Structure 1
Amino acid sequence: MSTSTALVTGAGRGIGRAVAVRLAHSGWRVYGGVRTDVAAEQLAAESDLITPVELDVTVPEHLTALDRVLPERLDALVNNAGVAVGGPVETLSRADMRTQFEVNLIGPLAVTRAVLPRLRRARGRVVFISSINGRVSFPFTGIYNASKYATEAVADCLRVELRPFGVQVGLVEPGVIDTDPWHEMDELIDGLEAGLEPEHRELYAPQFAGERRLIGRIRTNAKPPERVAAAVERQLTRRRVRPRTLVGADARLVLGMKVLLPARGLDAVWARSTSAPVRGARPRVLS
């Protein structure tokens, strides 16, 4: 019996690394996309079944080079590479927005297109690592939410379009996961606030304070990335891929709130958690 093969993007750290390691330990031949030599060395040391591949999903030359590395048949693609651009929507630049969508949507779709002939030959599977942010929109992560909503829309489309070829498509939607960005969140929030124009800094000061308190609370319940890796492996080995798989009690709770609460009720929850002004309060006007 031949060894199953998988390409995992963003395998240098966090969820992608956990997925690559778990699959390799289960006997898969894994091609792990990384962006630095250091990440390549560290990933290769995890297993003889892992082959690091230089892969920035926004660089066309890296996608072209996959033809020289990957086997003719590919059983799975795990689109994990991603970034999160934070901050109030009105403060985001066009460059911020382009970066968010290039990395989280356009890049993964370009990878998918590049390896689809191999996936067709194997009647393989595509798993997109989305987020609960792809189902529920949170304040201060508006453009990130948008990129994940878009990922879910495209995955829904691909699931039908690729069905005649035997290629199954699914999403994995984690809640808060204990990865490096969450450990760096305090510094990130400080940097975002410091980078604002003075008028925006004053306007959004209460919300930034609320964000810091909220992050401190929810970070204590972060789940290890291995939980996501286990969900990905199940998606790749079950008879039929599930369209969506939530990971974490927090993700299920938030989705339940969206289902049960009216839109304005959910707005009020987010407003309270981030200290945003409530309805009826006088708007703050700068002199």
Structure 2
Amino acid sequence: MSATPAVLVTGAGRGIGRATAVRLARHGWHVHAGVRSDAAAASLRAESDAITPVELDVTVPEHVEALVDAIPERLDALVNNVGIAVPGPVETLDRAAMHRQLDVNLVGPLAVTRAVLPHLRRAQGRIVFLSSVNGLVSFPFTGLYNASKFAVEAVADCLRVELGPFGVQVALIEPGVVDTDPWHEMDAVVDAVEAALPAELRDLYAGHLAGERQLVERIRRGAIPPETVARAVERALTRRRARARSVVGRDARLMLVMRAVLPARRMDALWTRELGLGPGRAPRAAAAPQERTEVVT
């Protein structure tokens, strides 16, 4: 690692990405911070002279291609943080929502990784993927988000082996609930999801959505600050050998223990109870899925 190591952090405009960019800048890194707005860029510049904002929407090929000229020849680390969540019952999610979810959370980060990999190889650098406990345990109402994070886990496992001979290490950070804007906005998000449903589906899933509101309120109380995740990212970048996986948050660790000891039927029953759902309901005709509301993580 060079005297002043360089790192690219995607999704650095808010939440975990911003906390990571600020922390690394304060601890001796030169941070190239991927942002999508001038306001986010100005805010990060005000935090530290060691932060260089870079216009980066990972779903825009021109932005990804421009990274080659925006970062140094030797890049010590890449933090693939950017992500969104497209919520709602799986039945209600249309093809556009599926593509959007996977494009932002999986395809875009892999495009960024491919673009900067020659720079990382020169430095024998590191890649950190911000996954989630949702990449290990599937939560109801975030089916597409779960799928995208499960996919990130699979890809990271492959890259860890494929890039090992080049000296490039790959790590996964798996937080539980983090105290970022999306969790403060979740009540409005659930309302928007419900409002977008056709009348038939809105009635069919009324109990599910009511249970989701109550569950969100309970689990939100245990949210950890984004700075806690930023510390985990820094450890993944600086320890002699990066751990393949780092679970962050008491709730995430508890969920993994439950998944390990409980059979699938018991886990299903747990979710059903937590959401206040009774036995199966009589099937009703479903209308076409509607446009979704997404949550930027």
TM-score (norm 2): 0.94
- Mark the runs of 5 or more structure 2 residues left unpaired by the alignment: 286-297
1:241 positional shift:
0.7
- Mark the runs of 5 or more structure 1 residues left unpaired by the alignment: none
- Give 1:37's aligned amino acid: D
Contact 1:172 1:231 in 2 (8 A): yes
- Give 2:53's aligned amino acid: P
- Give 2:269's aligned amino acid: A
Aligned to 1:12: 13
1:286 positional shift:
4.2
CA displacement, residues 111-169 of structure 1 (integer Å, 9 cap, x when unaligned)? 00000000000000000000000000000000100000000000000000000000000
Map 1:97-176; keep pairs closer than 5 Å: 97-176=98-177
Equivalent position SS for 2:243:
coil
Residue-pair matches, total = 284
Aligned to 1:74: 75
Map 1:42-61; keep pairs closer than 5 Å: 42-61=43-62
Map 1:132-281; keep pairs closer than 5 Å: 132-278=133-279, 281=280
CA displacement, residues 151-200 of structure 1 (integer Å, 9 cap, x when unaligned)? 00000000000000000001000000000000100000000001001111
CA displacement, residues 202-221 of structure 1 (integer Å, 9 cap, x when unaligned)? 11100100000000011111
Equivalent position SS for 1:169:
strand
Distance 1:189 1:9 in 2: 27
1:65 positional shift:
1.0
Aligned to 2:95: 94
Contact 1:79 1:108 in 2 (8 A): yes
Aligned to 1:284: 282
Distance 1:58 1:240 in 2: 31
- Give 2:256's aligned amino acid: L
Distance 1:63 1:263 in 2: 40
Runs of 4+ aligned structure 1 residues displaced above 4 Å come to none
Distance 2:44 2:282 in 1: 51
Contact 1:203 1:284 in 2 (8 A): no
Equivalent position SS for 2:247:
strand
Aligned to 2:293: none
Let me know the Cα RMSD of the aligned residues: 1.0
Q: In the alignment, does 2:26 pair up with 1:25?
A: yes
Equivalent position SS for 1:45:
helix
Q: Percent identity?
A: 67
Aligned to 1:3: 4
1:273 positional shift:
1.0
Distance 1:136 1:67 in 2: 36
Distance 1:23 1:76 in 2: 11
1:66 positional shift:
1.0
1:277 positional shift:
3.1
